[in-house]
Amino acid sequence: LAQVFSCFEDSVPPHFRQTPVSTTTPTNQPEHQQQKQQQKDRSRLPAPNHQPPPAMAAPGESQVVAGDTAWVLTSSAFVLLMTPGLAFFYGGLVKEQNVLNTMMMSLISMGVVSISWMLLGFSLAFGDGGGQIVGDFDYFGMQGMLDMEGGVWPGTGLPPLVFAVFQMTFAVIGCAIISGSIVERMHFGAFTVFITLWSLVVYAPIAHWIWGPGGWIEELGAKDFAGGAVVHESTAVSALTLAWLLGPRSERGEDQAHNVAFVILGGSLLWFGWSGFNGGSALAADGTAALALINSYQAAASCLVTWMLIERIFRKRWSAIGAVTGAVVGLVIITPAAGFVSTIGAFAMGIIGAMLVYPFFQFTSRIDDSLDTFPCHGISGFFGTMLTGCFAMEGGLFYGGGFKLLLAQFVASMAVAAYAAFMSTIIFLFIKFVMRTRVHKDWEDAGLDELVHGESAYVHSPTKSYSSPTKSTHANQESDSSTSESEASTSNV
């Protein structure tokens, strides 16, 4: 084979050529040694399926990696799908006369935040000329994104616009998360203005601190793989702040999910979308993406099972909503650590996280956090960030790294929480100065779907009887009379 290969040596590309191998076997060796030598000679030849190594791109040529680009494009679609998933998750938990209003708060985030991100948000988050606190205006309106060296975003094999749209989906889902604390009582217009300003004033600077070039938390050494602090902590603290400023609902205490099937559907879509949320944050189709993916699944699974066992022990039931909540909590906990910990570490984080977070869902606070957004995303995000400091394979406490990383994680969490709470208060007070932020009590009692959107989620929705908060007593009497006649007729039958 070596002799045949040498006949075609001149026609073989240079990177296939190897140092000539001597195939002459001394005749004075035993036969078994001759066979062994021939096998050794064959092993030095190129394998039949050997592929040439990738050539380095010449200056001015594209450095885009097709596989990485395809994976991050797919991940962007996954993460965008999480927002409709969140809409179903939240929509199933509220009263049926508020389901459309609740779901629309997620849908409007896909609209206004996508625009604000394209115009200014991305530049504030990832511009490299603004220093350690915030970016600059170099990428305003996506300017200059097509003129980068090699046609890729620095440090990746991705076209800059692919990187930008992937990061945009994080901002969208983050703003949608906020709605969980203020549903059934905040004006839809006021909420729309709030998330537009919040995406620029709160989210973009925090993203720059941790992920942007030269951000001060990144320089501190903190780790946040996919947004435990950037997305979940910042949104949850802002949501809790809004809930406190708005005040409690008029009918607080009557919480009961109107459609558990919606909750299961929404939670399943969130779990599916998290494949891109964490897996895509590797920004490449490589081993880190695979590690993040399996870690996400294992943490969600272990947290779900642990959560159900806790509910079985203390509440004597196997709750469907509890199972979905446990999975989401596990996914939030693993988010900052997905690409930094081992798979067994992710499994342990899910179990530990369920035991740490579950008690916070049992507390009754004076602040009316309608759908438990703060414990689900804020508390879980904090514990996930801190557990990253323990389980990270590089620098983690359990891997001999000492307390340096753990301290950096704590500082990052506290800084994000303080900034998000302060700026959310400023934004809310500004909006309250120029427009009404909370709906009238009559509207709140009647339900917001028909009054705000002129539509109902169900054909026979109870909101039909609340078409106006100023409905006359005569109309109510007629409704009561017709109901009595219907009941009497049914009794006769």
pLDDT score, position 5: 36
Rounded mean pLDDT of 460-484?
44
Decide if pLDDT at 343 tops 60: yes
Q: What is the rounded CA–CA span in Å between residue 339 and residue 288?
A: 6
Average pLDDT, the chain: 84
Residues in the chain, total? 493
pLDDT score, position 148: 85
Q: What is the rounded CA–CA span in Å between residue 190 and residue 245?
A: 13
Rounded mean pLDDT of 225-254?
91
Q: How far is CA 461 from CA 7, 89, 387, in A?
A: 83, 19, 45
What is the percent of the chain where pLDDT is above 70? 80
Dihedral of alpha carbons 466, 469, 475, 476, sign: positive
Q: What is the pLDDT of residues 18-68, one digit of tens each?
A: 444 344 444 445 554 555 455 444 433 433 343 334 444 455 566 899 999
pLDDT score, position 130: 75
pLDDT score, position 34: 55
Q: Measuring CA to CA, which residue among 239, 245, 465 is closest to residue 369?
A: 239
Q: What is the reported pTM?
A: 0.81
What is the percent of the chain where pLDDT is above 90? 70
Q: What is the rounded CA–CA span in Å between residue 146 and residue 455?
A: 43
Q: Measuring CA to CA, which residue among 272, 302, 276, 271 is closest to residue 289?
A: 276
Q: Are 325 and 92 within 8 A, CB to CB?
A: no
pLDDT score, position 411: 97
pLDDT score, position 253: 66
The SS3 of residue 438 is strand
Q: Look at 25-39, 144-158, 368-382 and tell me which has the smallest mean pLDDT.
A: 25-39
Q: What is the pLDDT of residues 412-424, one digit of tens each?
A: 999 999 999 999 9
Q: What is the pLDDT of residues 280-335, one digit of tens each?
A: 999 999 999 999 999 999 999 999 999 999 999 999 999 999 999 999 999 999 99
Rounded mean pLDDT of 104-119?
96
**Pick the residue with more confidence: 242 or 7?**
242
Decide if pLDDT at 479 tops 50: no
pLDDT score, position 150: 80
Decide if pLDDT at 462 tops 80: no
Decide if pLDDT at 177 tops 60: yes
Rounded mean pLDDT of 383-397?
96
Q: What is the rounded CA–CA span in Å between residue 105 and residue 173?
A: 11
What amino acid occupies position 2? Answer: A
